[in-house]
Amino acid sequence: MAPHKHEAMMQLYSMPSSGNSLKVRILLALTGKPVRIVDCEYGSAALAQAKADGALPYGKVPALVLDDGTTLGESNAILWFLAEGTDLVPSDAATRARMLGWMFWEQYNHEPIIAVRQALVSYPHRAADATPERLADLLDCGHALLQVMEDRLAAQDWLAGDRVSLADLCLYGYTCTAGSRGGFDMERFPAVCRWLDRIAALPGVLNA
């Protein structure tokens, strides 16, 4: 009998409290790809070691190390790599472009407001920046951004096309904790909440 061949496994440097890391873990759960996860919470020895080892291409998590040693950074780029060839990337060019539009919007508009407010109220090292004025401004801006999603999701179940895509996984990362960690009034956005429930019901999402 031939000896059992060891299967190489990808390694994900992931921050448990980060929505950017969460969306990669969700995609890995949905695709069933084997991965070894290294938890690198802010301030942890594991994060310091990963930086010292040069394991993080942009000096931050998430970072995905492929089985051949290639390392990828930036959460949305990692999503694209992992989902290529799956149903999570629309085959229609226009729908695919809309999906990418939401992903660009997430990093340029949504994340700098929704995620930043969560960080200011959650991480002790950000407390000095959490002035009442800034928190109030982020709250107003965040509600306006969530309304953009509400308007879209009131008309259809998913952000791009007629099925779940990378756009949904991408925006889920920080929207799912916008109320609990960011203090945003999610009752104002019933369509967004129904969308969050649809994503949470996908296999493996809640354990990611």
- Asked: is 93-203 a CATH 3.20.10.10 domain? The reply is no
User: Given this model, what pLDDT does residue 132 score?
Assistant: 96
**C-alpha distances in Å from residue 131, one per residue of 121, 127, 135, 184, 206:** 10, 8, 6, 16, 33
User: Given this model, what pLDDT does residue 4 score?
Assistant: 41
pLDDT in tens, 85-102: 999 999 999 999 999 999
Cβ 72 vs Cβ 64: under 8 Å: yes
- Compute the distance between CA of residue 180 and CA of residue 199 in angstroms, rounded to an integer: 17
Locate 158 and state its tokens: 């998913």
Locate 117 and state its tokens: 């407010």
Residue 141 dihedral angles phi and psi, to the nearest 5°: -65, -40
Domain span(s) for CATH 1.20.1050.10 in the chain: 93-203
Enumerate residue ranges in the chain where pLDDT < 70: 1-8
User: Given this model, what pLDDT does residue 144 score?
Assistant: 98
Domain span(s) for CATH 3.40.30.10 in the chain: 10-83
User: Given this model, what pLDDT does residue 151 score?
Assistant: 98
User: Given this model, what pLDDT does residue 2 score?
Assistant: 42
What number of H helices and E strands is found in the chain? Answer: 8, 4
Question: Angle, to 10 degrees, between the axis of helix 190-200 and the axis of helix 132-153?
Answer: 80
User: Given this model, what pLDDT does residue 7 score?
Assistant: 52
First to last CA, the chain: 37
The answer to pTM > 0.85 is: yes
User: Given this model, what pLDDT does residue 6 score?
Assistant: 45
Cβ 95 vs Cβ 161: under 8 Å: yes
Locate 109 and state its tokens: 């508009």
Domain 10-83, what architecture?
3-Layer(aba) Sandwich (3.40)
**Residue where the block lists tokens 């539009």:** 101
Cβ 14 vs Cβ 37: under 8 Å: yes
